[in-house]
Structure 1
Amino acid sequence: MAGRSRIRTDLALEATERFQEENVEVHGVEIRERYDEEKDVRTTVVRITTENGARTMGKPQGTYITIEAPDLSVPDEDYHREISEEVAHHLRELIDLGRQQSILVVGLGNQEITADSLGPRAVSNLHMTRHVIREYGLKSNEHMKMHQISGIVPGVMAQTGMETLEIVRGVVSETKPDVVIAVDALAARSTTRLNRTIQITDTGISPGSGVGNHREGLNEENLSVRVIGIGVPTVVDAATIVHDSMAELLEALEEDEQKEFLEEMISPKLYTMFVTPKDVDETVRYLSFTISEGLNLAFSDSLIEEDRS
């Protein structure tokens, strides 16, 4: 197997790029791209519509929305607010907030490890309303009614001794949300996308998949409720960095010779090592606010004025 194909990525966009580089057309995969020059934001929607497309891509059928924003790594509050609005817009497209009244947000990851703490941090910044509604009824305001927003940070197996799916399944069974939103840190193929990209998908999410620590997936099949996944790549496979650096030095070789050489030279140990930027602590902190603000903005549209007529 070629070195490139062994490098992990959670981004559907990067999976399509691999086939585009090899001039291979994948049937059952639709790609639509939009670029906002003023905001410098590129949005790519990948739809996997057939079983053949899912097998080829190695990802479930569904919609994958990728927001690429180079300045996400910069602590610019106005810019992050614009990205939050973009996130909210796409969430409203994927979720029927008029009908799905109860939403459980799951913050995946280990909050003790900075690069893996995006999910827990995002949940801690959410405006929770389920307890208010249960305490005071659906009408928490004379003329307004709200969605029931709740959240959980299930931790990781090393901390709890339980599969994340087991914990979330129990919470879903007890609280019966209409939709689950899972937030997690991802792994990227390209170092340029670290902390600068947000992926939103209606196929759910597999905790730990990006770093090769595969756990049971949080998806509709396993939870019997619709699951939306939101993630930001915060780590990159160490083998990616070595591969890309060496590939530039080997441009004179034929492609097959490059692959064979890289296959032999890249140590298998590098595929179990992951690299993150040195300022990841600060970056993850404001990225978590960007995600949570996007969720809060999406749910704020659920404050629906009642018909007074």
Structure 2
Amino acid sequence: MAFRTDLAVEAVENFRQTEGGQHIRRSERTMEGFAVHEVDVLSLHAAQQTGKPQGRYLTFELDALLHREEDAFPRACRALCSLLRELLPEKAQRGPALVVGLGNRMITPDAIGPQAVDHVIATRHLVAQAPDMFAGWRPVSALAPGVLGQTGVETGEVICGVLDRIQPAAVLAVDALAAGRLSRLVRTVQLTDTGITPGSGVGNARAALGPQTLGVPVIAIGVPTVVDGATLAHEITAQLAGSGCEALEDLSRPVMITTRDIDREVADISRLIGYAINLALHPHLTVEEIDLYLS
């Protein structure tokens, strides 16, 4: 069975260094006390080998925040903001922006996107109605389009309809992902300039949302909230040097595993992402000011 993950850092870890290995660049650094792992998929061959489109993938580790270190939340917000601004092309750092929270608000592991949007300051209407008062603000729209089963409309169709009206310089899409290992559940944030395919993490992929389909830069922000049960079982079996077991056949149908405290963890990380987006789109703001605007 193939190792199933939405995280580029995991896909590369499990990618055997064949001919395409030279077309993958990896690096590590620290920002505000948080570890950042970067993976650059540089060629079509490497993309085919790893299953990840060509582009940059930044994985932000949340250990300091989870350990409740001093000033961890504002430091995490600033670091994540800096990573977002790294991925945004220079032309996309000005003009209107659209923030899209993908997923189903009614299913907690899939609610990262909608809950993150709840913490984004929408300013497009304010800039339009009071341009003098909000001259220093960027027009930002926030959208949680729901899922096909709730609305009867494909997420991509909703977003394209909104794009035609507001014509943003960039789209920031937030979604839940699937990891390959339990240790990364709600412990990392992946940012990429390649876009995203809603529902791919749970085997229900919809139309891709990327620069090619939307016509503007698309920055995807994803958090792993589930692990595919079959992937996890096969990994455990492989690590134990086992030849397999009958119980694996019970996982032939999709089984997703998440954490016990997923409600609190999704709420905490959604707030972090929302605040980081605000800081990235409105550089004049501080975390304390965002608190006031959202209160």
**C-alpha distance in 2, partners of 1:202/1:98?**
12
Which residue is 2:280 aligned to? 298
Which residue is 2:111 aligned to? 117
CA contact (8 A) 1:197 1:232 kept: yes
Post-superposition shift, 1:77? 7.8
**C-alpha distance in 2, partners of 1:298/1:29?**
28
CA contact (8 A) 2:92 2:170 kept: no
Where 2:71 maps in the other structure, the secondary structure is: helix
**C-alpha distance in 1, partners of 2:198/2:65?**
23
CA contact (8 A) 1:73 1:283 kept: no
Q: Report how many residues are paired.
A: 283
Are 1:89 and 2:89 counterparts? Answer: no
Which residue is 2:165 aligned to? 174
Which residue is 2:101 aligned to? 107
Gaps of 5+ in 1: 251-257, 304-309
Post-superposition shift, 1:131? 0.6
CA contact (8 A) 1:85 1:294 kept: yes
Read off the aligned partner of 1:107 and give its amino acid letter: G
Which residue is 2:13 aligned to? 17
Post-superposition shift, 1:146? 1.4
Are 1:238 and 2:229 counterparts? Answer: yes
The structure-2 alpha-carbon separation of the partners of 1:210 and 1:72, relative to structure 1 and needing over 3 Å to count, comes to: farther
Please list, as runs of the form range in 1=range in 2, the aligned pairs for 1:152-191 lying within 5 A after superposition. Answer: 152-191=143-182
Deviations 1:98-131 (A, max 9, x none): 7531100000000000110010001011111101
**C-alpha distance in 2, partners of 1:152/1:164?**
11
Where 2:113 maps in the other structure, the secondary structure is: helix
**C-alpha distance in 1, partners of 2:244/2:101?**
37
Which residue is 1:80 aligned to? 73
Which residue is 1:283 aligned to? 265
Post-superposition shift, 1:75? 6.0
Aligned equivalent of 1:134, options 128, 134, 137:
128
TM-score for both structures, normalised by structure 2: 0.89
Gaps of 5+ in 2: 286-295
Which residue is 1:32 aligned to? 27
Which residue is 1:307 aligned to? none
State which drifts further: 110-119 or 25-34.
25-34
The structure-2 alpha-carbon separation of the partners of 1:167 and 1:136, relative to structure 1 and needing over 3 Å to count, comes to: same
Post-superposition shift, 1:165? 0.4
State which drifts further: 285-294 or 77-86.
77-86
Where 2:21 maps in the other structure, the secondary structure is: coil
Post-superposition shift, 1:70? 2.4
**C-alpha distance in 2, partners of 1:176/1:302?**
23
CA contact (8 A) 1:133 1:148 kept: yes
Larger Rg over CA atoms: 1
CA contact (8 A) 2:92 2:169 kept: no
Runs of 4+ off more than 6 Å: none
Deviations 1:7-62 (A, max 9, x none): 3211111111002xx444613221111246x83x3211111122112111212111
Where 1:155 maps in the other structure, the secondary structure is: coil
Which residue is 1:222 aligned to? 213
TM-score for both structures, normalised by structure 1: 0.85
RMSD: 2.2
**C-alpha distance in 2, partners of 1:76/1:106?**
30
Which residue is 1:249 aligned to? 240
CA contact (8 A) 2:9 2:37 kept: yes
The structure-2 alpha-carbon separation of the partners of 1:264 and 1:28, relative to structure 1 and needing over 3 Å to count, comes to: farther
**C-alpha distance in 2, partners of 1:157/1:105?**
19
**C-alpha distance in 1, partners of 2:282/2:226?**
31
